[in-house]
A and B are shown apart, each in its own frame.
Chain A
Amino acid sequence: MLEHAFKGSKNYWLLLGFWGIIIAMGAGAYAVQLRDGLTITGMSRDVSWGFYISQFTFMVGVAASAVMVVLPYYLHDHKAFAKTVILGEFVAVPAVLTCMLFIFVDMGQPARVLNVILHPTLHSVMFWDMSVLMGYLVLNLLIGTITLDCERKGKHYPHWLKFFIYLSIPWAVSIHTVTAFLYAGLEGRPFWMTAILAPRFLASAFATGPSLLIILAVIVRKISKFDPGEKAIRTLATIVTYSMLINLFFFLVEAFTSIYSDMPHHLHAFEYMFVGLHENGVTYDVLVPWMRAGMVFSFITGFLMLFPGIRWNLKVVPYVCVFIICGTWIEKGLGLVITGFIPSTLGHITEYVPTAPELMVTFGIYAIGAFVLTVLYKIIIGVRERRAGYGADAQ
């Protein structure tokens, strides 16, 4: 099975090479960070988590959303997903990998990472987060490779695997819930301390992940002879639509409580995101254009997806999905973490902007994810094409 990863067209190698270059640049930037410390980032005393932890949070969502293909297929026997399930599981693998890398590069003393395992601390949500992420990575690797290998040999996957497949469903929900609990359990941060955070995370994740899957499925369809099926893509589009609407609803619920109650601590965060804060004649509003754009993306795409003519049009829907991902990324990968620190617990306003090396490390990690994704998808395509009797590798 692995041989498919090592044989490929020129384009395949070019793509891997492209990711490789970005990875090398990221590694270079990380080397500087290792030498000089996290001072090379835009983070500060007041905004002590920044881009890395934001991307981690966003990618946990992408990872968790594999459940949106696993659940309909294995629990509801939704046949259309027969060929898509593996695409979802093999998105989850690199997604979890990037999550772990984002946490790792955020650490001040990465060499001591094993301390988390050497001194397991049950009352720390971070310990749980690390455990469930590890478990999720193993589950998806296990399920994905075994089912694909059995498919290659034309067998049914072994019966005992069912247990792990079922286990992976609540597990997927747990990774994003625990990630939300990282934030929602902090009494000093009113912006995060809301019970809707975990549900909101899940809803936006289930809009983002399947959107990504739609895009990937359409690409796979174009460049190879393996077709995940129009029906599967349509089902995914329906899932995206519902999740997006629920996500927007949750956002409005949160906004209502904060704005209508008019309590300063809750209000400030929303003010900071959408209009900017003013103090001593200075305006703090770097996030404002982003957040507004994100809202426009989310509400317009949510509205567009309501129309079957758009939702089920394979020529249009991938583009809508791009904007859905942009919208949810701005919300979770940009606004959520940073705004929690503004104003600080001492009422100071320090803004945060990522630095160039910080962005390079971030791109490097995303490129590692993309690299692994490319290889895994290449394997899927190879196996599928051979089964379908096309023999040689496309792409």
Chain B
Amino acid sequence: MDDTRRKFLKKAGYASLGISCALPLLDAKLLAMSEETGTHEAAAKKQLAMVIDIKKCQNKQLVDAAANACHTVHNVPTITDAKGNINKEEEVKWIWTEKFANTFPEQVHARLERSILDEDVVVLCNHCSRPPCVRVCPTQATWKRDTDGIVMMDMHRCIGCRYCMAACPYGARSFNWNEPRKFLEKGRGIVGEYPTRTKGVVEKCTFCADRLSDGLEPACVEAANKVPGGKDALVFGDLSDPNSKVNLILNKKHTICRKVGLGTGPNIYYII
């Protein structure tokens, strides 16, 4: 065996030794990760969540009230085209409805009852436990808040690269393709204190972080509860508190989440 080959083999041996030493560390990390994804997460950390009753939300009036309340308090513009129709391609929305089949593609099978397929399901940001949007953001303009698990958005830091839109598996994010204030002025006008955005940034539901700090419920929950028959159509609460309303429902009812197979850990639960 010539010298260089021997040297090479020796080096290769050390390298593999190094790798095998590192493996237990990797193992530990993987184990930790797989535990995280366990069905019953450690309840220690506060995580805000919402339970949505799909049947109760078939009431169009209720859904409109919830979406309107949200979009009004957050100054979300209604983007229209030259003729005044909704511009679907550039729409900005925080909470809206999608057909059951589009919301829960894995739940759809050929024999599913037609009326269920056509159901309108309320959708919004899932405030995922392992949010891909946060993982990809190059500026930490979107991040998961430690204190309550809300996936926050800093519209002043966002550079508008839209990587988060590519990463979110739920279509929860909207980009301001146009100047939003222009459309607010054309529409309902600028309401209240919530800062309006500039063009070129991404936005989404923040679980009403601003209202929560004032001791209020999210605007959509409050509005839905006021509609006749809307009691508990949307329920909001803390998963780490065993006595919270969301936990009481989750312990009793059959609920599902969107695209659980992806491992993002959504925190919006649906009563089917």
Identify the A interface with B (CB < 8 A).
36-39, 41, 43-46, 48-49, 103, 106-110, 112-113, 115-116, 118-119, 121, 123-127, 130, 182-183, 185-189, 340-341, 344-348, 350
B159 touches A124 (CB 8 A): no
B166 partner, pick from A41, A112, A113, A189, beta carbons under 8 A: A189
| Nearest A-chain residue to B199, judged by Cβ | A37
B171 touches A346 (CB 8 A): yes
Task: List chain A residues, Cβ under 8 A from B28.
Answer: none
Minimum Cβ distance to chain A for residue B23 (Å):
21
Minimum Cβ distance to chain A for residue B78 (Å):
14
| A121-B137 contact, Cβ under 8 Å, with A37-B177, A37-B178, A350-B89 | yes
Task: List chain B residues, Cβ under 8 A from A118.
Answer: 139
Residues of B144-180 contacting chain A, CB below 8 A: 157-163, 165-171, 174-179
How far, in angstroms, from A186 to B123 measured CA to CA in the complex?
21
Identify the B interface with A (CB < 8 A).
88-91, 98, 101-103, 105, 123, 132, 135-141, 157-163, 165-171, 174-179, 198-202, 259, 262-264
| A188-B169 contact, Cβ under 8 Å, with A38-B177, A127-B138 | yes
How far, in angstroms, from A45 to B90 measured CA to CA in the complex?
6
| A49-B166 contact, Cβ under 8 Å, with A124-B135, A347-B102 | yes
A45 touches B136 (CB 8 A): no
A108 touches B175 (CB 8 A): yes
How far, in angstroms, from A360 to B102 measured CA to CA in the complex?
36
Minimum Cβ distance to chain A for residue B68 (Å):
20
Task: List chain A residues, Cβ under 8 A from B178.
Answer: 36-37, 39
| Nearest B-chain residue to A115, judged by Cβ | B139
A37 touches B176 (CB 8 A): yes
B162 touches A108 (CB 8 A): yes
Minimum Cβ distance to chain B for residue A286 (Å):
15
B163 touches A124 (CB 8 A): yes
Task: List chain B residues, Cβ under 8 A from A108.
Answer: 158-162, 175-176, 199-202
B136 touches A48 (CB 8 A): no
A126 partner, pick from B138, B158, B177, beta carbons under 8 A: B138
List 7 tightest A-B contacts by C-beta distance, closest first: A108-B160, A108-B200, A188-B169, A44-B89, A37-B199, A126-B138, A39-B177
Minimum Cβ distance to chain B for residue A47 (Å):
9
A119 touches B175 (CB 8 A): no
A113 partner, pick from B159, B162, B168, beta carbons under 8 A: B159
B132 touches A186 (CB 8 A): yes
B174 touches A115 (CB 8 A): no
Minimum Cβ distance to chain B for residue A337 (Å):
9
How far, in angstroms, from A259 to B263 measured CA to CA in the complex?
25
| A48-B175 contact, Cβ under 8 Å, with A38-B200, A107-B160, A186-B166 | yes
Minimum Cβ distance to chain A for residue B213 (Å):
24
Task: List chain A residues, Cβ under 8 A from B175.
Answer: 38, 45, 48, 108
How far, in angstroms, from A130 to B159 measured CA to CA in the complex?
14
Task: List chain A residues, Cβ under 8 A from B138.
Answer: 115-116, 121, 124, 126-127, 130
A45 touches B174 (CB 8 A): yes
A109 partner, pick from B90, B165, B168, B198, beta carbons under 8 A: B198
Task: List chain A residues, Cβ under 8 A from B136.
Answer: 124-126, 185-186
Task: List chain A residues, Cβ under 8 A from B103.
Answer: 346
How far, in angstroms, from A182 to B139 measured CA to CA in the complex?
15
How far, in angstroms, from A107 to B98 measured CA to CA in the complex?
29
Complex A-B: 5 CB contacts under 8 Å: A37-B199, A39-B177, A112-B159, A119-B157, A126-B138
